[in-house]
Amino acid sequence: MKVALYLRVSTEEQAVRGYSIEAQKEALRDYALKKGWEIAGIYEDAGFSAKDINRPALKRLLKDIEDGKINAVLVWRLDRISRSVGDFSDIVEFFEKHGVIFDSATENIDTSTPSGRALVNVLAVFAQFERESIGERTRLGKLKKVQMGNPALGLPPYGYRIEDGEYKINEAEAEVVRLIFKLCVDNHWGYRKIASHLNEIGLKTRQGGFWNHGSISSILNNPIYAGLIVWNKTKSLRGKVIKRPKSEWIKLKGNFPPIISEELFDLASSRIKERNQRGRSLSSVYPLSGIIRCGLCGMSYNVNRRKERGVVNYFCSSRKGKGSVVCNNRTVNGTKIEKLLVSKLIEITQKEKELILSSFKGENRGEEISKEIKNISTALERIEAKRKKIFELYEDEEIDKAILKERIKELESEMALLKSRQEELYLRQDREKNIEHECSVAKICIISLLKV
Ligand SMILES: [Zn+2]
């Protein structure tokens, strides 16, 4: 199989780490190697956007395909070929016509199947939506400004003021910013505790209001205080703003003074991360979050709380994160699954109990034990009565001393036997009661843990 590696990176993307042409090339080589494909050529379009097909390397690739030099085309991502659905389908059709396999190193596609081809088209539609909703031109203009170190000027963040079109430190506010970072890093406080502390000591927000979780969070998570501008954090996809992976962020030193050091900012970020992770593991509100796993893909199921209706749902994290193309397992209602689990656990404890009880092989149990204990008591009473009678006979000189002694001895050994049996039965009764008790405690624990 002779494969062509097609690489493209736009001028704008060249500024972003993780998009570099070298990294793409590396990934493609690895991928081709794994598939056992022979690399017939590398086609690079550096500094070209995907809005049209007017690209020298792409043209060369199409020509080589026509000349029968290539059996497969490998890209890092489908949008390397084109972001326009029309161009994209044309090219994929052209590949098909020449019997060329089209594959992406990061998206699981196989254009030799109808579903693979459909998927390719769906992804192309998304790519076009994305391109159109952002508008590469405006992005490019914005990026140039960022690269020059100017924050996109608007209302300055708390701690700064704007003077002559530049950010200057507002000392009074900057003091509060430093305090917030100190409380987070040195005192290990969370957003809420910091907010309530500031409110207690009478500090107000810029609007003169109370500090809250959100206002503290927006300060601790804003790299601007370390003198950094981060751009490209989000993108819009089908009209929704979504977060980009950190590897795609553009981080630049601004041309304005920092309020805190980069080191302190990073420390605060790791404190926040620690807290979040701790919070998640102690999540008592959603006890099954991260514990139950997807039966289709094996990833964890997490909670998705729809606040307005108070409905708690558990969803497959890989479906949520990567889309239904990766995993299509359904969302489950939280209350339902928790109830189901509780009944399952109770069933298991019940079975466990039966198992323990049945290990008292062939022994009497429960009611039978009580019955036997009662019988023994009656027997003991009867023996006691007999003993009394024998003494009476002796007193009335009906029997002599030797017979008395012999009879008493017999009765006493009979009594001892019965008493030891009775003792044994009492112990067994206790053991059974303990097992019953432990099982009911286990049930209560399970129920209260899951608050069902
Ligand atoms: Zn799944």
DSSP for 49-95, please give it.
-SSSS--HHHHHHHHHHHTT--SEEEESSGGGT-SSHHHHHHHHHHH
Written as one letter, the residue type at 205 is T
Q: Is residue 321 part of a domain?
A: yes
Model confidence over 49-89: pLDDT tens digits?
777 788 999 999 999 999 999 999 999 887 788 877 677 77
How many angstroms is it from 144 CA to the middle of ligand 1?
41
Beta strand 228-231 with 332-333 is: unpaired
Asked whether residue 254 carries a pLDDT value surpassing 60, the answer given is yes
How many angstroms is it from 421 CA to the middle of ligand 1?
60
Q: Is residue 294 part of a domain?
A: yes
Specify the DSSP class assigned to residue 268. Answer: H
Same domain, residue pair 266 and 164:
yes
Same domain, residue pair 100 and 180:
no
Residues catalogued as catalytic: 10
Domains held by the chain: number = 4
How many angstroms is it from 323 CA to the middle of ligand 1?
10
Alpha-carbon gap, residue 81 to 76, rounded angstroms? 9
Same domain, residue pair 96 and 11:
yes
Q: Which residues, 6+ apart, have CB-to-CB distance to 86 below 8 Å?
A: none
Give the model's confidence band at 185: pLDDT under 50 very low, under 70 low, under 90 confident, else very high. very high
Residue environment code for 370-404, b if the CB has 16+ CB neighbours within 10 A, otherwise e: eebbeebeebeeebeeeeeebeeebeeeebeeeee
Same domain, residue pair 314 and 383:
no
Q: Is residue 392 part of a domain?
A: yes
| CATH number of the structural domain spanning residue 49 | 3.40.50.1390
Instruction: Tell me the mean pLDDT in the region 158-182.
Output: 89
The residue among 276 and 6 whose pLDDT is bigger is 6
Same domain, residue pair 276 and 391:
no
Which residues is 63 bridged to in the sheet? none
Same domain, residue pair 396 and 432:
yes
Q: Is residue 39 part of a domain?
A: yes
Residue 13: give the domain boundaries.
Answer: 2-134
Q: Is residue 353 part of a domain?
A: no
Please name which of 173, 156, 34 lies closest in space to residue 105, comparing C-alpha atoms.
Answer: 34
How many angstroms is it from 334 CA to the middle of ligand 1?
16
Same domain, residue pair 6 and 130:
yes
Q: Is residue 176 part of a domain?
A: yes
Same domain, residue pair 126 and 202:
no
Model confidence over 286-297: pLDDT tens digits?
667 767 888 888
